[in-house]
Structure 1
Amino acid sequence: MSTPVVFIHGLWLHASSWEPWVEVFAQAGYAPVAPGWPGDPDTVAEARRHPEPIADHGIDDVVTHFAALIAELPAKPILVGHSFGGMIAQKLLGQDLAVAAVAIDAAQIKGVLPLPLSALKATLPVFKNPGNKHKAVSLTAEQFRFAFGNAISEAESDALFERWAIPAPGKPLFEAAAANFNPHSPAKVDTANELRGPLLLMTGGKDHTVPEAVTRATLKQYRHSDAVTDLMEFPDRAHSLTIDAGWREIAESALTWLGKQSL
């Protein structure tokens, strides 16, 4: 039986942005799926036309949603998450709902303290209005270029924006921002779990939204667990690394790492 792989997108990207990855993982012998978050419409166009169902879903809602999907699979999956999807993947792995996880430029979990200025600027479209906590917020092409496409050409960034960008719920960002002041934060991950499967953290050295300092601080959160936790760096890549022209390098690096874990 092929091992299931569940791809988990982050904010501002539609689940269909994983399509090239799904194809590559299927060719490698896995059984991949790329479901949306709760409320996500089936298409980018529909998400832009009707963003209301996307709004007001928090981290716990998304974790519960994916846990229910995992429960219907024939076996525990490998999780591959990008940005907030990387945080969700870590939470699910910590709950022993997966055999392994790859967290790519993952949003900060509770306990991570660095808050680089570029990350604040990238998320300003949400935080500039407290009311956005309960809304779905869109980026402009210019905002997308700063948050995602700063390491690629403006033309490529604009093309990716047109193809994949959708409104995103503001609630997860507000929850993550308050995580270190909330003992019961939904951004808390069981980083001390000794029995969980292996975890790979991937980081882009030019990422504005989740700078390398955040990923390195995340790695330190796992220091009390002997379970496999690896870090892989791509110095010239930014937050678009899963969807831009260099996506295949990231995908194949993840596949190589999974192979080394006998997965």
Structure 2
Amino acid sequence: MSEKVIVFLHGTNATSWTLDPIRHFFEAEGYTCHSPVYRFHDLPEGEERTQALKGVSIADYVADIAAFIETLEQKPIVIGHSLGGLIGQLLSARELIEAGVLINSSIINGTVPTTEMERALGKMFMSAGPFWEDVPGQDFDLLAAYGLNTMPVEQQHDICDRLGTESGQVLFELFFWMYDVNQTTRIDFTRATAPLLFLSGSEDKVVPPTTAKTMADRYGTRATFIEVPGRCHYMQLEEGREKLAQHCLEWIRAL
């Protein structure tokens, strides 16, 4: 068989640039890499993007990536960050991937917050009105506290300035899976048999290790969970990310 193919899946409010450092590492190692962008995320900020993103679901992103994967000659490995990690799990349940590396994956249906900061974030969304009908952007203070908290302030601003708006429906499905009538993030564990590597930054406040571990444990021996010391939610952009990429490479080579 030819060299393994890797598909990189980005998180909310982002595009593929958030995984470029890891992709460049794997390309240098000779891997064929693809970085698809979720629908409408390549549109510039403005009314067209806002109207296009309203009501868009995680299920739409999964359908788009599934269609892309079906154009490939072999099942790929996915490396997903945040929402991309969740989408990787949903693709596994559709038997479309060989394996998945999940960097601070967003939670799946049935995963309960384990920290007060997670619960506070949920309460904040509750107080924001019907955000699922809107297309929220990034709040710097919130992002700095939850997702970029181990980075220098200058880098925090740089990342926040490059992130965009996101479908409120997507955020609703992420944070309030218990009220989602479509159960969008529910995993069929009888079909999700691909090996998964869960990488969890010890300082991630969005999906802290205590929560990520409960999610990984639901896969039993199919999942490997590793807590990465001193790293935040966007750890693939932090200084020293080469070590993180090397760890991913070693796990993939051992498959």
Deviation for aligned residue 1:201: 0.6
Whether the 8 Å CA contact 1:41–1:47 is kept in 2: the answer is no
Quick one: distance in 1 between partners of 2:136 and 2:109?
A: 23
Look up the match of 1:155.
Answer: 154
Name the aligned partner's letter for residue 156 of structure 1. Answer: Q
Deviation for aligned residue 1:219: 1.6
Question: Is residue 236 from structure 1 mapped to residue 211 from structure 2 by the alignment?
Answer: no
Look up the match of 2:99.
Answer: 100
Matched ranges for 1:65-84 at <5 A:
65-84=64-83
Whether the 8 Å CA contact 1:199–1:229 is kept in 2: the answer is yes
Whether the 8 Å CA contact 2:122–2:175 is kept in 1: the answer is no
With over 3 angstroms needed to count, the CA separation of the structure-2 counterparts of 1:147 and 1:222, relative to structure 1, is same
Name the aligned partner's letter for residue 215 of structure 2. Answer: T
Look up the match of 1:145.
Answer: 144
- Runs of 4+ in structure 1 displaced over 3 angstroms? 47-51, 120-128, 180-184
Deviation string, structure 1 residues 78-124 (Cα, Å, up to 9, x no partner): 01111111111011012110000011111111121235332244566
What is the TM-score of this pair, normalised by structure 2?
0.90
Deviation string, structure 1 residues 222-248 (Cα, Å, up to 9, x no partner): 13xx5x310111121111202222332
Correspondence for 2:253 among 239, 254, 259: 259
What is the TM-score of this pair, normalised by structure 1?
0.87
Look up the match of 2:115.
Answer: 116
Quick one: distance in 2 between partners of 1:77 and 1:17?
A: 20
Matched ranges for 1:176-255 at <5 A:
176-180=174-178, 184-193=182-191, 196-223=193-220, 226=221, 228-255=222-249
RMSD of aligned C-alpha atoms?
2.2
Farther off after superposition, 66-75 or 139-148? 139-148
Whether the 8 Å CA contact 1:112–1:221 is kept in 2: the answer is no
Quick one: distance in 2 between partners of 1:50 and 1:21?
A: 31
Q: SS at the partner of 1:242?
A: helix
Look up the match of 2:38.
Answer: 37
Gaps of 5+ in 2: none
Quick one: distance in 2 between partners of 1:182 and 1:132?
A: 14
Name the aligned partner's letter for residue 18 of structure 1. Answer: L
Deviation for aligned residue 1:127: 4.2
Look up the match of 2:13.
Answer: 12
Aligned positions, number:
253
Name the aligned partner's letter for residue 20 of structure 1. Answer: P
Gaps of 5+ in 1: none
Quick one: distance in 1 between partners of 2:30 and 2:16?
A: 21
Name the aligned partner's letter for residue 62 of structure 2. Answer: V
Quick one: distance in 2 between partners of 1:191 and 1:120?
A: 26
Aligned identity (percent) is 22
Quick one: distance in 2 between partners of 1:134 and 1:248?
A: 39
Quick one: distance in 2 between partners of 1:78 and 1:219?
A: 18
With over 3 angstroms needed to count, the CA separation of the structure-2 counterparts of 1:177 and 1:84, relative to structure 1, is same
Deviation string, structure 1 residues 182-231 (Cα, Å, up to 9, x no partner): 6851111122337x2211011011111111111111022113xx5x3101
Name the aligned partner's letter for residue 161 of structure 1. Answer: C
With over 3 angstroms needed to count, the CA separation of the structure-2 counterparts of 1:50 and 1:244, relative to structure 1, is farther
